[in-house]
Amino acid sequence: MAQSVLRADNVRKIFYVYTDPAGTTVVSSKKQFSLNLWRRRSIYELLALDDISLEVYPNELVALLGPSGCGKSTLLRIFAGLERPTSGRVAFKDQEIKDPDPQRAMVFQSERAVFPWLTVEKNIELGPKLQGVPRAEREERVRRIIELIQLNGFNTAYPATLSGGMLQRVAVGRALINRPEVLLMDEPFGALDAITRNALQDHLIRIWQETRQTIVFVTHDIEEATYLATRIVIMHPRPGRIKGVVPVTLSHPRSRTDSAFVEARRKVADLLGD
Protein backbone atom coordinates (compact mmCIF):
# COMPACT_ATOMS: atom_id res chain seq x y z
CA MET A 1 0.00 0.00 0.00
CA ALA A 2 1.24 3.50 -0.83
CA GLN A 3 2.33 5.82 1.94
CA SER A 4 -0.55 7.94 3.21
CA VAL A 5 -0.50 11.67 2.46
CA LEU A 6 -2.60 12.58 5.46
CA ARG A 7 -3.16 10.55 8.55
CA ALA A 8 -5.12 11.06 11.76
CA ASP A 9 -4.70 8.71 14.71
CA ASN A 10 -7.22 8.81 17.54
CA VAL A 11 -7.72 12.55 17.20
CA ARG A 12 -9.85 14.30 19.79
CA LYS A 13 -10.59 18.00 19.80
CA ILE A 14 -12.11 19.77 22.76
CA PHE A 15 -13.17 23.42 22.68
CA TYR A 16 -13.64 25.24 25.98
CA VAL A 17 -16.60 27.57 26.05
CA TYR A 18 -17.42 29.95 28.87
CA THR A 19 -19.21 33.17 29.63
CA ASP A 20 -16.95 35.81 31.07
CA PRO A 21 -18.09 38.20 33.83
CA ALA A 22 -19.16 40.75 31.23
CA GLY A 23 -21.53 38.19 29.76
CA THR A 24 -19.56 37.56 26.58
CA THR A 25 -19.27 33.99 25.37
CA VAL A 26 -15.64 33.13 24.90
CA VAL A 27 -14.31 30.10 23.15
CA SER A 28 -10.83 28.67 23.29
CA SER A 29 -8.71 25.72 22.29
CA LYS A 30 -6.88 25.86 25.60
CA LYS A 31 -7.95 25.42 29.17
CA GLN A 32 -7.09 28.85 30.45
CA PHE A 33 -9.78 29.70 32.93
CA SER A 34 -9.75 30.24 36.65
CA LEU A 35 -10.94 27.55 39.01
CA ASN A 36 -13.73 29.89 40.06
CA LEU A 37 -15.27 29.69 36.66
CA TRP A 38 -15.18 25.89 36.76
CA ARG A 39 -16.83 25.92 40.19
CA ARG A 40 -19.57 28.23 39.01
CA ARG A 41 -20.03 25.89 36.04
CA SER A 42 -20.07 28.78 33.63
CA ILE A 43 -17.65 26.82 31.51
CA TYR A 44 -18.19 23.69 29.53
CA GLU A 45 -16.19 21.43 27.30
CA LEU A 46 -17.34 20.86 23.78
CA LEU A 47 -16.08 17.61 22.28
CA ALA A 48 -15.90 18.59 18.60
CA LEU A 49 -14.01 15.47 17.46
CA ASP A 50 -13.79 12.15 19.23
CA ASP A 51 -11.42 9.35 18.29
CA ILE A 52 -10.97 10.17 14.61
CA SER A 53 -8.63 7.83 12.73
CA LEU A 54 -8.31 8.24 9.00
CA GLU A 55 -5.75 7.85 6.23
CA VAL A 56 -5.80 9.68 2.91
CA TYR A 57 -3.72 8.26 0.04
CA PRO A 58 -2.13 9.96 -3.00
CA ASN A 59 -4.60 11.08 -5.72
CA GLU A 60 -7.62 10.33 -3.59
CA LEU A 61 -10.54 12.71 -3.58
CA VAL A 62 -11.99 12.21 -0.12
CA ALA A 63 -15.26 13.85 0.89
CA LEU A 64 -15.99 14.56 4.54
CA LEU A 65 -19.77 14.39 4.70
CA GLY A 66 -22.06 15.02 7.64
CA PRO A 67 -24.61 17.35 9.21
CA SER A 68 -23.79 20.77 10.59
CA GLY A 69 -21.64 20.64 13.70
CA CYS A 70 -20.18 17.16 13.19
CA GLY A 71 -16.64 18.55 13.08
CA LYS A 72 -15.87 18.55 9.35
CA SER A 73 -14.30 22.01 9.35
CA THR A 74 -12.46 21.29 12.57
CA LEU A 75 -10.90 18.14 11.09
CA LEU A 76 -9.96 19.99 7.91
CA ARG A 77 -8.39 22.83 9.90
CA ILE A 78 -6.41 20.28 11.90
CA PHE A 79 -5.10 18.76 8.63
CA ALA A 80 -4.25 22.30 7.47
CA GLY A 81 -2.30 22.92 10.68
CA LEU A 82 -4.57 25.84 11.62
CA GLU A 83 -5.79 23.98 14.70
CA ARG A 84 -4.08 21.42 16.96
CA PRO A 85 -5.76 18.26 18.22
CA THR A 86 -6.33 18.11 21.98
CA SER A 87 -5.00 14.55 21.87
CA GLY A 88 -4.01 12.08 19.18
CA ARG A 89 -1.75 12.68 16.23
CA VAL A 90 -2.01 14.06 12.70
CA ALA A 91 0.67 13.55 10.10
CA PHE A 92 1.47 14.70 6.56
CA LYS A 93 3.59 12.01 4.90
CA ASP A 94 4.66 10.66 8.30
CA GLN A 95 5.67 14.11 9.58
CA GLU A 96 3.63 15.41 12.47
CA ILE A 97 1.49 18.41 11.43
CA LYS A 98 2.26 21.37 13.64
CA ASP A 99 1.79 24.43 11.46
CA PRO A 100 0.24 25.45 8.17
CA ASP A 101 2.35 24.58 5.13
CA PRO A 102 2.01 25.60 1.46
CA GLN A 103 2.06 21.86 0.66
CA ARG A 104 -1.37 21.66 2.27
CA ALA A 105 -3.37 24.45 0.68
CA MET A 106 -6.72 25.45 2.09
CA VAL A 107 -9.35 26.79 -0.30
CA PHE A 108 -11.63 29.15 1.55
CA GLN A 109 -14.88 30.52 0.27
CA SER A 110 -14.20 32.94 -2.54
CA GLU A 111 -15.04 36.23 -0.87
CA ARG A 112 -12.45 35.53 1.80
CA ALA A 113 -9.89 34.07 -0.57
CA VAL A 114 -9.41 36.88 -3.08
CA PHE A 115 -8.21 40.43 -2.62
CA PRO A 116 -10.69 42.86 -4.20
CA TRP A 117 -7.97 45.40 -5.01
CA LEU A 118 -5.94 42.94 -7.11
CA THR A 119 -6.73 41.71 -10.62
CA VAL A 120 -7.28 38.00 -11.33
CA GLU A 121 -3.67 37.46 -12.37
CA LYS A 122 -2.25 39.50 -9.47
CA ASN A 123 -4.40 37.52 -7.03
CA ILE A 124 -3.14 34.23 -8.44
CA GLU A 125 0.46 35.42 -8.61
CA LEU A 126 0.60 36.57 -5.01
CA GLY A 127 1.75 33.34 -3.36
CA PRO A 128 4.79 32.72 -5.61
CA LYS A 129 5.60 36.46 -5.53
CA LEU A 130 5.78 36.43 -1.74
CA GLN A 131 7.97 33.34 -1.95
CA GLY A 132 10.37 35.16 -4.28
CA VAL A 133 9.75 33.06 -7.42
CA PRO A 134 11.36 34.95 -10.36
CA ARG A 135 9.03 37.01 -12.53
CA ALA A 136 9.39 34.95 -15.73
CA GLU A 137 8.53 31.72 -13.96
CA ARG A 138 5.65 33.38 -12.12
CA GLU A 139 4.15 34.63 -15.35
CA GLU A 140 4.41 31.20 -16.92
CA ARG A 141 2.76 29.55 -13.92
CA VAL A 142 -0.04 32.15 -13.87
CA ARG A 143 -0.66 31.58 -17.56
CA ARG A 144 -1.02 27.84 -17.02
CA ILE A 145 -3.28 28.24 -13.98
CA ILE A 146 -5.59 30.66 -15.78
CA GLU A 147 -5.81 28.11 -18.58
CA LEU A 148 -6.60 25.37 -16.07
CA ILE A 149 -9.37 27.32 -14.32
CA GLN A 150 -10.61 28.53 -17.74
CA LEU A 151 -10.51 32.24 -17.05
CA ASN A 152 -8.66 33.18 -20.25
CA GLY A 153 -9.40 36.79 -21.12
CA PHE A 154 -10.10 37.77 -17.53
CA ASN A 155 -6.46 38.19 -16.49
CA THR A 156 -6.78 41.89 -15.73
CA ALA A 157 -10.37 41.83 -14.44
CA TYR A 158 -11.03 42.89 -10.85
CA PRO A 159 -12.95 40.56 -8.52
CA ALA A 160 -15.94 42.92 -8.30
CA THR A 161 -16.58 42.33 -12.00
CA LEU A 162 -16.63 38.51 -11.73
CA SER A 163 -19.47 36.09 -10.95
CA GLY A 164 -19.48 33.92 -7.81
CA GLY A 165 -18.42 30.87 -9.79
CA MET A 166 -15.54 32.72 -11.45
CA LEU A 167 -14.39 34.05 -8.08
CA GLN A 168 -14.39 30.55 -6.69
CA ARG A 169 -12.19 29.43 -9.57
CA VAL A 170 -9.76 32.25 -8.78
CA ALA A 171 -9.69 30.95 -5.20
CA VAL A 172 -8.84 27.46 -6.47
CA GLY A 173 -6.21 28.94 -8.80
CA ARG A 174 -4.58 30.77 -5.93
CA ALA A 175 -4.21 27.53 -4.04
CA LEU A 176 -3.04 25.52 -7.08
CA ILE A 177 -0.27 27.90 -8.13
CA ASN A 178 1.77 26.96 -5.06
CA ARG A 179 1.70 23.38 -6.37
CA PRO A 180 0.46 21.92 -3.12
CA GLU A 181 0.38 18.18 -2.62
CA VAL A 182 -2.96 18.42 -0.89
CA LEU A 183 -5.95 20.67 -1.51
CA LEU A 184 -8.18 21.11 1.53
CA MET A 185 -11.56 22.51 0.51
CA ASP A 186 -14.22 23.54 3.02
CA GLU A 187 -17.60 23.65 1.27
CA PRO A 188 -16.07 25.75 -1.52
CA PHE A 189 -19.23 25.66 -3.63
CA GLY A 190 -21.73 25.83 -0.78
CA ALA A 191 -22.85 29.40 -1.40
CA LEU A 192 -23.41 29.01 -5.15
CA ASP A 193 -26.56 28.29 -7.12
CA ALA A 194 -27.07 24.69 -8.29
CA ILE A 195 -26.15 25.31 -11.95
CA THR A 196 -22.88 27.06 -11.10
CA ARG A 197 -22.11 24.46 -8.45
CA ASN A 198 -22.52 21.61 -10.93
CA ALA A 199 -20.26 23.38 -13.43
CA LEU A 200 -17.59 23.93 -10.77
CA GLN A 201 -17.76 20.30 -9.70
CA ASP A 202 -16.90 19.38 -13.29
CA HIS A 203 -14.08 21.94 -13.27
CA LEU A 204 -12.71 20.45 -10.09
CA ILE A 205 -12.76 16.92 -11.51
CA ARG A 206 -10.91 18.10 -14.60
CA ILE A 207 -8.30 19.92 -12.52
CA TRP A 208 -7.92 16.93 -10.23
CA GLN A 209 -7.42 14.60 -13.21
CA GLU A 210 -4.82 16.94 -14.74
CA THR A 211 -2.85 17.70 -11.60
CA ARG A 212 -3.28 14.34 -9.83
CA GLN A 213 -3.50 16.23 -6.57
CA THR A 214 -4.86 14.75 -3.38
CA ILE A 215 -8.06 16.49 -2.34
CA VAL A 216 -10.04 16.50 0.89
CA PHE A 217 -13.39 18.12 0.33
CA VAL A 218 -15.92 19.05 3.02
CA THR A 219 -19.60 19.01 2.13
CA HIS A 220 -23.00 18.36 3.65
CA ASP A 221 -24.45 17.57 0.23
CA ILE A 222 -24.90 13.82 -0.43
CA GLU A 223 -25.09 14.28 -4.19
CA GLU A 224 -21.97 16.45 -4.31
CA ALA A 225 -20.02 13.89 -2.27
CA THR A 226 -21.19 11.02 -4.49
CA TYR A 227 -20.46 12.96 -7.68
CA LEU A 228 -16.91 13.90 -6.71
CA ALA A 229 -15.39 11.54 -4.21
CA THR A 230 -13.41 8.36 -4.59
CA ARG A 231 -14.15 7.76 -0.91
CA ILE A 232 -16.76 9.30 1.38
CA VAL A 233 -16.13 9.63 5.09
CA ILE A 234 -19.47 9.93 6.82
CA MET A 235 -19.43 11.79 10.12
CA HIS A 236 -22.01 12.33 12.83
CA PRO A 237 -22.25 15.03 15.49
CA ARG A 238 -22.09 15.40 19.28
CA PRO A 239 -19.45 14.21 19.57
CA GLY A 240 -18.00 14.32 16.05
CA ARG A 241 -17.18 10.77 15.03
CA ILE A 242 -16.68 8.78 11.85
CA LYS A 243 -19.77 6.73 11.22
CA GLY A 244 -18.59 4.90 8.15
CA VAL A 245 -16.46 5.09 5.03
CA VAL A 246 -17.93 4.41 1.59
CA PRO A 247 -15.67 3.93 -1.44
CA VAL A 248 -17.23 5.19 -4.69
CA THR A 249 -15.66 3.21 -7.50
CA LEU A 250 -17.51 4.81 -10.45
CA SER A 251 -15.16 6.40 -12.99
CA HIS A 252 -15.11 10.16 -13.64
CA PRO A 253 -16.80 12.10 -15.12
CA ARG A 254 -19.94 10.67 -13.54
CA SER A 255 -23.54 10.93 -14.60
CA ARG A 256 -26.07 11.97 -11.97
CA THR A 257 -28.81 9.98 -13.67
CA ASP A 258 -26.85 6.78 -14.17
CA SER A 259 -28.40 3.88 -12.21
CA ALA A 260 -25.08 2.97 -10.58
CA PHE A 261 -24.75 6.60 -9.44
CA VAL A 262 -28.27 6.65 -8.02
CA GLU A 263 -27.53 3.40 -6.20
CA ALA A 264 -24.27 4.75 -4.75
CA ARG A 265 -26.03 7.92 -3.60
CA ARG A 266 -28.75 5.89 -1.92
CA LYS A 267 -26.18 3.81 -0.07
CA VAL A 268 -24.53 6.95 1.27
CA ALA A 269 -27.89 8.47 2.25
CA ASP A 270 -28.85 5.28 4.10
CA LEU A 271 -25.63 5.27 6.08
CA LEU A 272 -25.96 8.97 6.86
CA GLY A 273 -29.56 8.59 7.96
CA ASP A 274 -29.19 5.63 10.32
Ligand X SMILES: Nc1ncnc2c1ncn2[C@@H]1O[C@H](COP(=O)(O)OP(=O)(O)OP(=O)(O)O)[C@@H](O)[C@H]1O
For Mg ion, give the closer residue by CB, 73 or 211. 73
Question: In degrees, to the nearest 5, what angle opens at C-alpha 240 toward C-alphas 202 and 59?
Answer: 35
The dihedral region occupied by 155, where left means phi > 0, alpha psi between -120 and 50, and beta the remainder, is: alpha
Q: How far is the CB of 248 from ligand X (least distance, A)?
A: 20
Binding residue for ligand X, selected from 15, 33, 57, 158, defined by CB under 6 A: 15
Q: How far is the CB of 12 from Mg ion (least distance, A)?
A: 18
CB-facing half-sphere around the CA of 195: CA atoms within 13 A: 1
- Partner whose binding site includes residue 74, from ligand X, Mg ion, none (CB under 5 to 8 Å by kind): ligand X
For ligand X, give the closer residue by CB, 191 or 262. 191
Pick from 105, 95, 91, 110: nearest CA to 53: 91
Q: How far is the CB of 203 from ligand X (least distance, A)?
A: 23
For Mg ion, give the closer residue by CB, 76 or 246. 76
- Mask for 137-176, x = binds ligand X (CB under 6 A): ----------------------------------------
Q: Where are the alpha helices (DSSP H) in 180-254?
A: 194-211, 222-228
Task: Tell me: does residue 119 bind Mg ion (CB under 5 A).
Answer: no
Task: Tell me: does residue 243 bind ligand X (CB under 6 A).
Answer: no
Task: Tell me: does residue 73 bind Mg ion (CB under 5 A).
Answer: yes
**What are φ and ψ of residue 24, in 5° steps?**
-90, 135
Tell how many helices (H) and how many strands (E) occur in the chain: 9, 11
For Mg ion, give the closer residue by CB, 73 or 150. 73
**What are φ and ψ of residue 49, in 5° steps?**
-135, 135
Segment 41 to 80, residues that bind ligand X, using CB under 6 A: 46, 48, 66, 68-74
159: amino acid identity, one letter = P
Strands 95-96 and 182-186: unpaired
Binding residue for ligand X, selected from 27, 35, 130, 195, defined by CB under 6 A: 27
- Rounded distance between C-alpha atoms, residue 17 and residue 202, angstroms: 40
Neighbours of 179 (CB within 10 A): 15
Task: Tell me: does residue 82 bind ligand X (CB under 6 A).
Answer: no
- Pick the stretch among 53-61, 66-74, 162-170, 172-180 that binds Mg ion (CB under 5 A): 66-74
For ligand X, give the closer residue by CB, 112 or 212. 112
- Mask for 194-223, x = binds ligand X (CB under 6 A): --------------------------x---
For ligand X, give the closer residue by CB, 1 or 27. 27
For ligand X, give the closer residue by CB, 48 or 207. 48
The dihedral region occupied by 51, where left means phi > 0, alpha psi between -120 and 50, and beta the remainder, is: left
Pick from 207, 244, 214, 211: nearest CA to 230: 214
Strands 6-19 and 43-56: antiparallel
Task: Tell me: does residue 17 bind ligand X (CB under 6 A).
Answer: yes
Which residues contact Mg ion (rule: CB under 5 A)?
73
Which residues contact ligand X (rule: CB under 6 A)?
15, 17, 27, 46, 48, 66, 68-74, 220, 240
